[in-house]
Structure 1
Amino acid sequence: MKILFLNTLYAPYFGGGAEVMLQSMVEGLKRRGHEVQVLSTGPESGVQSESLNGVPVLRAGMRNLYWPFSGRRPGPLLRLAWHALDRYNRGMREVLADVLEQSEPDVVVCHNLSGWSIAVWDAIRDAGLPIVQILHDQYLICPRGMRFNKGRHCEQQCGSCALLRRSHAKASATVDVVVGVSRFQLDVLLDAGYFRDSRPHVIYNASPFAPQNDEPAVVAAHRPLRFGFIGTLAPNKGLEWLIDSFQETRCDASLLIAGRGDAEYVNALKSRADPRHVHFVGYRKAGDFFRTIDVAVVPTLSQEPFGLVALEACAHHVPVIASARGGLVEIVRDEFNGLLCEPDRPDSLRDAIQRLAQDPGLRLGLASRARASVESMLSVERMLDEYEALLRHTLLDRGVRHGSAIPVSTL
């Protein structure tokens, strides 16, 4: 197959787990003999071409007011204008149309559409190609992608989001196949009236950095228990809730917080924390971090699309305390490989931390089941098998419906 992958970012630019999964998918399918190409946005105008690990990558300058990943945060009016243009970006549609004419793929796999907009669906449709849309976030409902505002998850779509997403559900009818990285992620869009004419699938993300061996790390004796958070340090991640809950327990333990975020926000978190027990350790590789902690905490306040951090913690035999939000409940099973808490019940996180600090038998029991509970999700080859089969079926189905023959060599 000749496959074009479209996403907002591509390595070495990473916005989150979507880019990790995309790179793993692209390079994996290339190893299997498929002809792959990536099209993403980039900081420079025009279309820049390069090769990364043998994969041809095109980076298109964003035809909008600014590139959102430069590290500078524009003012609210400029951000609103950017999102208004991103509702349907005709300039980016033209960019994709030119790439499709030159590269002539068999199928286009769309990931995150921020910066491209749903205009790309029309470009792909006009080229007569099948569209596979993979859902990593809630961009199609909320321009920010997370339905989180003023410290709380948005239970309903607000007026501005409804306006900026007025025609998106109808436009999604052009998509042939839609894939959710969790059952939750898929159902959110289907329940909102999206993809009514698309074939729905759930394909769980794999864990490319999961340890291959099945042995838990050896924990150093005679040290305080360590709870740990790793990820982007942002308001929707529940870090204030975590710090306050941990400090309320007054248990003989430490809390390690790994990751980066806006400097002003991180400084506010540090001023909230007792430095004797709460340690900000900066960027850490996930595998190295999980080998240094006893319990992972994922206290997100928003609806998590999947929960890669929870998956990787379990892969390292580390039990997880997680919010019962979004795709996390498809990974963390209460009282089996971790404990679930509820942001609407603030004391639930404090109670979960206290339980695992005071009950080593419970903690060790959860840890002993953690790896096995997610074993079926971990394999990258499993993920590639599922996507490869889906893409083959999509091309065959498209050929049957349009009465065209698909050469065997293409599949």
Structure 2
Amino acid sequence: MKICYISNLYPPNVLGGAEIIVEKMALELVKRGHESIIITTSPYNKKHVINRDNTTIYQINTTKLYPVYKQTEASGLKKPLWHLFDLWNNATLKEIKKILVEENVDLIHINNFKGLSLSCFKVGKDLNIPVIFESHDFSLICPRANLIRGNNTLCQQRNTVCDQYVKIQRKLLNENVDLLISPSNFMINKFKENQFFNNTSTVKIPLGIEYKCEKSEKSYDTIDITYIGTLGKHKGVHTLIEAFKDIDNDSIRLHIIGKGYDEEEFKEMARKDNRITFHGFIDNKDIREFYNKSNIIVIPSICYDNSPLVIYESFSTGTPVIGSNIGGIPELIEENFNGFLFEPENSESLKEKLLKVINNKELLKKLEYNSAKTLPSNSIDVMVDKLIDEYSKLLN
């Protein structure tokens, strides 16, 4: 079969874990004798076609104001106008249709779509091709995609503008999706609460990683605590820094990996604590070294994280995770088995969990042992097997 993966970003243009997962899916399908093509946004001023790893990557440029990969740099009125223009883009619709007809695609698998507009969902119905939507964020029910307000608090009730925006998206999406996939039940339920996909089949498929699950050798002379992700307040990095600074122990280290809006503010918070190191952005191919050296990974999110890839990668090295009890995170972390959960945005709650592992090496070793057994040893194969099964059901 021939699958078209639609994703607003695709490596090497990476802002999060979703585009990394899309690349893994596409390449695994090729390994199994199927065909994959990619439709993504272009970092150039025109359409660009790349042949790489036995896949064809179509980079199209129909986004107004600024390209998706520069969204972290945009400010002022540009952002709301960008979202308005991105609701529906006929140029995108025509371009994707043209590509799909030329490629004679069997199935469309849409992932993050912002920058390609909701018009990309209509292509399947127009061409009688089944459409799968795999949701990695909350773009359909929140313009910011993370259900976080501008003051970095959870959005419990949409304002009038956002409510109208969501109603328009619901209408434009219509019944254009044949199957909704998510790695967490939390996200599926959140969509249902907001009257999306009420008549659409849904399935939870946990993420897979190509790493072989193998417990790394750890040192306990220094306890290395690591954060990997976006440096934004919605990710709770400030909560982690506050909790860490409040622990009086010279044998612990905090490693912060990533980039983002609030990086300078976090660096200022940590300035007087030489136990804290900012490593900047690390390419995904080099990130495993940090998992191997870490004793604990922390996911301190304030937002409703769906199913963080960092947790999967951490477990593959036998590294336990302390995570916020929010979103899809509790579906991955089992308390006192492969990690701990703490109250979001509560530095005291996080500090308490950190002290448990810092002060009890035997407990830490038990968590490591269990973490290494959490994922199937071939989790990428398990994920792709389930995907192919769903593809076959739709095509048959």
Match of 1:115 in 2: 115
- Is the aligned partner of 1:272 residue 2:269? yes
- Which of the numbers 229, 232, 237 marks the counterpart of 2:230? 232
Q: Which string of whole-angstrom CA distances, capped at 9 and with x for unpartnered residues, describes residues 191-244 of structure 1?
A: 211112211111111022x334x3x322346x3211111112122111111001
Q: Structure 1: any 5+ residue segments left out of the alignment?
A: 397-411
Give the deviation of 1:31 after TM superposition. 1.4
Aligned residue identity for 2:185: R
Give the deviation of 1:289 after TM superposition. 0.2
Give the deviation of 1:260 after TM superposition. 2.2
Contact 2:186–2:328 (Cα < 8 Å) also in 1: yes
Contact 1:130–1:394 (Cα < 8 Å) also in 2: yes
SS across alignment from 1:126: helix
- Is the aligned partner of 1:325 residue 2:326? yes
CA distance in 2, matches of 1:52, 1:160: 42
Q: Structure 2: any 5+ residue segments left out of the alignment?
A: none
Contact 1:173–1:196 (Cα < 8 Å) also in 2: no
Q: Which string of whole-angstrom CA distances, capped at 9 and with x for unpartnered residues, describes residues 95-140 of structure 1?
A: 2122223222111111111011211122221112111111111111
Give the deviation of 1:336 after TM superposition. 1.0
TM-score by length of 1: 0.90
TM-score by length of 2: 0.93
Contact 1:47–1:60 (Cα < 8 Å) also in 2: yes
The residue correspondences of 1:18-29 to structure 2 (distance < 5 A) are 18-29=18-29
Aligned residues between the structures: 389
CA distance in 1, matches of 2:111, 2:49: 20
SS across alignment from 1:381: helix
CA distance in 1, matches of 2:381, 2:72: 38
Contact 2:239–2:345 (Cα < 8 Å) also in 1: no
Pick closer, same or farther for the CA change 1:232–1:344 going to 2, 3 Å: closer
Match of 1:405 in 2: none
Match of 1:290 in 2: 291
| Moved segments of 4+, more than 4 Å | none
CA distance in 2, matches of 1:168, 1:261: 28
SS across alignment from 2:48: strand
CA distance in 2, matches of 1:259, 1:66: 23
CA distance in 2, matches of 1:386, 1:288: 29
Q: How large is the RMSD of aligned CA atoms in angstroms? A: 1.8
Contact 1:45–1:62 (Cα < 8 Å) also in 2: no
Contact 2:323–2:340 (Cα < 8 Å) also in 1: yes
Q: Which string of whole-angstrom CA distances, capped at 9 and with x for unpartnered residues, describes residues 314-356 of structure 1?
A: 2111111100111111111111110100115442111111222
Match of 1:207 in 2: 209
Give the deviation of 1:71 after TM superposition. 7.0
SS across alignment from 1:69: helix
Give the deviation of 1:172 after TM superposition. 4.0
Q: Which string of whole-angstrom CA distances, capped at 9 and with x for unpartnered residues, describes residues 1-58 of structure 1?
A: 1211111011211121111111111011111111221110112234211111121110
Match of 2:93 in 1: 93
Contact 2:224–2:296 (Cα < 8 Å) also in 1: yes
Give the deviation of 1:261 after TM superposition. 2.5
Match of 2:41 in 1: 41
Pick closer, same or farther for the CA change 1:72–1:143 going to 2, 3 Å: closer
